[in-house]
Amino acid sequence: MADPLISSHPGILAILAGIASFFFWLERKTRWKLFHFFPPLLFIYILPVLLSNSGVIPTRSPVYDFMGANLLPFFLTVMLLEVNLLATVRVMGKGLFVMLLGTLGVVIGAPLAFACVNAGLDPGAWKAFGALAGSWIGGTGNMLAVAQMVELDDHSLQYGYAVIADNAVYLIWLPIMLSSKNFAGVFHRFTRVPAERLEELEAAARKLTSDKGVPELRHFLYLAFLGFVVTWIASSAAGLIPSLPLGSEQPLVTASTYRILIVTLLGISLSFTPASRIPGSHALAMALVYLFVARMGAKADLSDVSGSVFWFLTGGYLWIFIHGAFLVGAARLFRVDVHTAAIASAANIGGAASAPIVAAYHRPTLVPVAILMAMIGYAIGNPAAFGAALLCRWVGG
């Protein structure tokens, strides 16, 4: 692809911020019913995908890396200031079981999807399915670890297919998880969610969004200070902690994982202090969330989605909807709300970087729950994905 039309860092940030601003302005100005079914967040995610893959802005840029390293921990810190931890623990309930059954859906969905597309794949494709299962249960670190467990070269074409499928499927699945909020009524009737469960969520949300007064200049400076200090401490401390290996050169738990854990710990600790009463924290955090979602869309590279990768992608989409079926079934079995179910899926498919995004859009109260679920995914990702790889190998003969 030719050089992008806009590649400077200020230009890219202006485009992303402009997209996020425009769709909220459009929603407020027009009051279109379209936004009841397709909220601005979906367009904020999809439009950067189109711009980056058509050459207007790049799919790779140092500014994206900077945002990932600094913007994510910053808005997590500011968002967690308002979290009522005790209310969060009560709200979590059976959500963990839904997340684990969603993981089971990934493990069982792998051989089922592989059986449907195996005829169109190269020998050894089962290894790539195992690596992709590692990403969907834990994250990139698990993907690399499982690839080594099944002796899949991370520079091979098969590994490249897994990476492409990971991004292409997520491109579809994330909007589904976000827009599911708009179908809460139908979902809750299907899952037979008890009225008290929804009342608990509402009560927790009310505690989180209590009126703290009109924010002033000094309040935004306080929030900026806290956000940057926590980001600085977490990034510095994470680099000092040894990575946890799994009998190979690729680490199971990396500095990025530690950084999110430290940010979560410090953010929740600050929520027990007077910092939780600083006005404007929720609005600032959500504004940064939308900017980060635009960055996620801009990074989605669709240039290699063609040719022989078709069958792998087909298998990936079949696989993700099997996971979705397990998730919906688990939500009905345990009578869980759509917000918890969406976060449980994001904790599997998106990991620690994306689960808080979905939580922030559905219920900010559940951000700590989302991070906890994602951390559990890191812990079980390798053995579960290795099992999925072996099942695919058995299916492929």
Question: Can you give the pLDDT at residue 209?
Answer: 52
Nearest to 53 by CA among 285, 388, 320, 301: 301
Please give the pLDDT value at position 205.
Answer: 55
Residue with tokens 């967040």: 41
How would you write the pLDDT of the chain (397 residues) with one tens digit per residue?
578 899 999 999 999 999 999 998 998 888 887 776 667 877 887 899 889 989 999 988 999 989 888 888 898 788 778 766 665 566 666 777 888 899 999 999 999 999 998 888 877 888 889 889 988 887 766 776 677 778 787 666 677 788 778 877 877 888 888 888 888 888 988 988 877 777 766 665 555 455 677 888 999 999 999 999 999 999 898 878 765 554 445 554 567 767 877 887 898 889 889 998 899 887 888 888 888 878 878 887 766 555 567 888 899 999 999 999 999 999 999 888 888 899 888 888 876 667 888 888 887 777 777 877 776 777 677 788 888 988 998 987 7
For residues 279 and 219, give the distance between their C-alpha atoms in angstroms, rounded to a whole number. 6
Task: Tell me what pLDDT residue 56 has.
Answer: 93
Domain layout of the chain by residue ranges: 67-395
DSSP calls for 20-77: HHHHHHHHHHH--THHHHS-HHHHHHHHHHHHHHTTSS-SS-HHHHHIIIIIHHHHHH
The pLDDT value recorded for residue 246 is 47
pLDDT of residue 88: 58
- pLDDT for residue 207: 57
pLDDT at 143: 76
Helix, strand, coil shares of the chain, percent, nearest 5, are 75, 0, 20
Single pTM value for the model = 0.68
Note every long-range contact of 189-196, with CB atoms under 8 Å and residues 24 or more positions apart, other chains counting: 190/328, 190/332, 191/328, 191/331, 191/332, 191/335, 191/336, 191/337, 191/338, 191/341, 192/332, 192/335, 193/335, 193/336, 193/337, 194/335
Looking at residue 248, its pLDDT comes to 47
pLDDT value of residue 307: 55
How far out from the chain centre does Cα 21 lie? 22
